[in-house]
Amino acid sequence: MDIHEYQAKEVLAGFGVTVPDGALAYSPEQAAYRARELGGDRWVVKAQVHAGGRGKAGGVKVCDSDVAILDASEAMFGMKLVTHQTGPEGKGVYRVYVEAAMPISREIYLGLVLDRTTQRVMIVASAEGGMEIEDISADKPDSIVRATVEPAVGLREFQCRQIAFKLGIDPAQTQQMVRTLQGCYRAFTELDATMVEINPLVVTEDGRIVALDAKMTFDDNALFRHPQISELRDKSQEDPREARAADRGLNYVGLDGNIGCIVNGAGLAMATMDTIKLAGGEPANFLDIGGGATPERVAKAFRLVLSDQKVEAILVNIFAGINRCDWVAEGVVQALREVEVNMPVIVRLAGTNVEEGQKILARSGLPIIRATTLSEAAERTVGAWKNELSQGIKIRAMS
């Protein structure tokens, strides 16, 4: 789960990280009022969306008057901010964050991520702040500083000092850097985060180290331990299909094709999508129903896949271990009887109770296309989709 910049700053400030003074606004007038509350003569207005690259897309403006703040926020509210991370559909702007402008001396990149190779938290930093880490890695790889943290002892002061030294931090500011790094690490571990990123982390002209921007991502599976973090979720920034699935305990990933996939297990989902592409099709999504899928759960999965207007065929691919093929078959039949499905449905079952599952599908009398192998299922799905597509083209041409 992602959260907004202002929320991440509030979280990090609670762990001792220094952040600029700022305030949230839900209208242009409120943004101007917030600036007057903050005081000063220069402010930064930032669109709050779950994406990076806001500055290049017009989502960050430096203002020096009430009129400039009103104009900048007026342009932001209601816009679809399109960045390299949002895709062409963009993300809606419904709130802005107003901060007092900072006198910046230098910028630093700082990130904490979960390194699955070493099974450790890795700190990634660079003296080239203000750039995307991908650009830093490509253009100036030697500037990147990496350090892994031993979970048994946590992030020690000597590691923080080593990082500060490699980044060229002034000795007088080293203790501030230690406090910032340890605060980020504590926030990461205590709140079950999967990423903490500050870009840029700035050194101000008066010698302070301040988090000028902040992003945090949390492990969805651990949110039950942190209700205060779960409440920060903003569904307006999420794919509505994925949000609906999450609310129903299902794992959904939206894609851009036309073939909906209902599977059990992420590995099988990846294999299914690859096989569909090899057969000449394009997956529209994959929905992982998980283990122990009841007929009701399978029916919910069908409704979610059908809610995507781009879906023109559905492939159900189940390899049952914990699951049972007869449960899945009952769910498919239940869904097709309750929901109007005017597209091909292909079902491939394997594993526990597969014979009973096949009998349920056969006895249903529904136009379900059955397959025994994944390659056969993918070929039949793509073939049925192309046939439906050609029929639709013929009908439109005749009309």
pLDDT band at 393 (very low <50, low <70, confident <90, very high): very low
pLDDT band at 392 (very low <50, low <70, confident <90, very high): low
376 shares a domain with 257: yes
382 shares a domain with 266: yes
11 shares a domain with 55: no
- Answer whether residue 399 is part of any domain: no
Give backbone dihedrals phi and psi of 183, rounded to 5 degrees, phi first: -65, -45
Q: Are 202 and 120 in contact (CB under 8 A)?
A: no
345-351 and 104-115 beta bridge pairing: unpaired
280 shares a domain with 379: yes
105-152 tens-digit pLDDT: 999 999 999 998 889 999 999 988 877 777 787 788 888 899 999 999
Burial of 338 (0-12, 13-18, 19+ CB in 10 A): exposed
Residues placed in the known binding site:
46, 53-55, 99, 102, 107, 199, 213, 264
> 16's torsion region: left (phi>0), alpha (psi -120 to 50) or beta?
left
187-225 tens-digit pLDDT: 999 999 999 999 999 999 999 999 999 999 999 889 999
Q: Which of 284-288, 292-296, 352-356, 372-376 has the lowest mean pLDDT?
A: 292-296
Mean pLDDT of 340-367: 89
Residues placed in the known binding site for ATP:
46, 53-55, 99, 102, 107
Question: Mean pLDDT score of the chain, rounded to an integer?
Answer: 88
270 shares a domain with 374: yes
246 shares a domain with 145: no
Q: Is the pLDDT of residue 74 over 70?
A: yes
Mean pLDDT of 143-165: 94
pLDDT band at 253 (very low <50, low <70, confident <90, very high): confident
171-194 tens-digit pLDDT: 999 999 999 999 999 999 999 999
- Please give the share of the chain, as a percent, with pLDDT higher than 70: 95
Domain boundary among 238, 272, 289: 238
- Answer whether residue 271 is part of any domain: yes
pLDDT at 309: 82
pLDDT at 399: 34
Residues placed in the known binding site for substrate:
264
Q: Enter the tokens of residue 182.
A: 């340890």
114 shares a domain with 53: no
> 99's torsion region: left (phi>0), alpha (psi -120 to 50) or beta?
beta
CB atoms within 10 A of CB 340: 7
pLDDT at 214: 95
Catalytic residues, which ones? 109, 197
144-149 and 193-204 beta bridge pairing: unpaired
- Answer whether residue 395 is part of any domain: no
pLDDT band at 390 (very low <50, low <70, confident <90, very high): low
- Answer whether residue 328 is part of any domain: yes
Buried b (16+ CB within 10 A) or exposed e, 244-268: bbbeeebbbbebebbbbbbbbbeeb
Half-sphere exposure in the Cβ direction for 161 (13 Å, CA)? 6
- For residue 142, the enclosing domain spans 1-19+103-238
Q: Is the pLDDT of residue 92 over 70?
A: yes
Residues placed in the known binding site for Mg(2+):
199, 213
293-316 tens-digit pLDDT: 677 777 788 888 888 888 899 999
Tell me the CATH number at 294. 3.40.50.261
Mean pLDDT of 241-257: 75
Tell me the CATH number at 35. 3.30.1490.20
Find residue 348's DSSP bridge partners: 317, 371
4-52 tens-digit pLDDT: 999 999 999 999 999 999 999 999 999 999 999 999 999 999 999 998 8
Q: Are 184 and 198 in contact (CB under 8 A)?
A: yes
36 shares a domain with 68: yes
- Give, for 309, the enclosing helix (H) or strand (E): none
200 shares a domain with 265: no
Tell me the CATH number at 219. 3.30.470.20
Q: Is the pLDDT of residue 394 over 50?
A: no
Residue 50 vs residues 69, 82, 234: alpha-carbon distances, Å: 22, 11, 9
232 shares a domain with 159: yes
pLDDT at 279: 92
Instruction: Look at the chain and report how many structural domains it folds into.
Output: 3
- Answer whether residue 321 is part of any domain: yes
Q: Which of 49-63, 164-178, 187-201, 384-398 has the lowest mean pLDDT?
A: 384-398
- Please give the share of the chain, as a percent, with pLDDT higher than 90: 57
5 shares a domain with 78: no
Q: Which of 52-61, 94-103, 276-285, 390-399 has the lowest mean pLDDT?
A: 390-399
